[in-house]
Amino acid sequence: MTSNYDLILFWECYIYLMPGKFVKTKAIVLKRTNYKEADKIVTLYTLELGKITTLAKGIRKLSSKKRSHLELFNYLNIYLVEGKNWYIATQAESIHLFPKIKQNYEITQWGYYMLEIFEKMTNEMEQNENLFKLLLKSLILLEKHQKPDIINTFNLHLIKIQGFNPEESSFSPASRDYMKQILVGKYENILKMETPEAKVQKYHEILKKLTEEILERKIKTSLDLDFKN
């Protein structure tokens, strides 16, 4: 028997879906916020559209088929329709869930940092394939290797792709060689670096401060990269 909520959900979706076009795209889940009784506002970075805000109706219900697919970090195929105020998620199919990132508290925090700075440094509806590839590749490598240099490499490349070119004076003399290595080196070589984790932490704090200066606001996620897993 159809519940009152299901009937309301049907008519709300009908009203929302009427104006827009349908889009299928690959996406990574950046952020989620509870909305109304059983919905969530989900921020995605998509291959086709860039960063978008989507409404996932009924996703907080245990019976929702989209529930497990729209978790943070997930890489997925998503079907969208353009509504009046935002895109509506009509269907989602997971490609990769990054379980090893989610199972380890410290590594999850590293991932949260990546998602937070990425979400804050990107604008709505500005498609950039290089940014999409950077985030996806960095998450894949973080899950596989759990190496702190990946965080700093991601942070610095994100700054550069977004058009910011920090002057050498932004870095201490001791950190300049490291920054140059992670900026111009291939990930395969960066994974072979043996920088002491205490120094990696110090360089992270430099990059975090630089990112906050660019954003003109604080980054909430705090990291301990001097971590033995």
Domain boundary among 51, 72, 96: 96
Q: Is residue 116 part of a domain?
A: yes
Instruction: With respect to residue 176, please indicate whether it lies within any of the assigned structural domains.
Output: yes
Distance CA 125, CA 45 (A): 9
Helix/strand/coil (H/E/C) assignment for every residue in 28-78 = EEEEEEEECCCEEEEEEEECCCEEEEEEECCCCCCCCCCHHHHCCCCEEEE
Of 167 and 3, the one with more pLDDT: 167
Give the count of domains, the chain: 2
Percent residues over pLDDT 70 in the chain: 90
What is the Cβ-side half-sphere exposure of residue 192, based on CA atoms within 13 angstroms? 5
> Which pLDDT score, from 0 to 100, does residue 173 have?
87
Q: 50: domain CATH number?
A: 2.40.50.140
Mean pLDDT, range 72-82, rounded to an integer:
96
Total residues belonging to the chain: 229
- The CATH number that applies at residue 169 is 1.20.1440
The stretch 17-24 carries a mean pLDDT of 72
* 102 burial level (CB within 10 Å; 0-12, 13-18, 19+): middle
What is the span of the domain harbouring residue 151?
A: 99-215
Q: Domain for residue 225, yes or no?
A: no
Classified as helix, coil or strand, 93 is strand
Q: Which of 96, 117, 138 finishes a domain?
A: 96
| pLDDT reading at 8 higher than 50 | no
Degrees, nearest 5: CA angle 42-141-149: 105
What's the token pair of residue 198? 């205490």
The encoded tokens of residue 53 equal 């805000």
Q: Quick check: 114 and 150 in contact, CB under 8 A?
A: no
Share of the chain above pLDDT 90, in %: 74
The pLDDT confidence band at residue 19, using thresholds 50, 70 and 90, is: low
pLDDT at 20: 65
pTM, 2 dp: 0.88
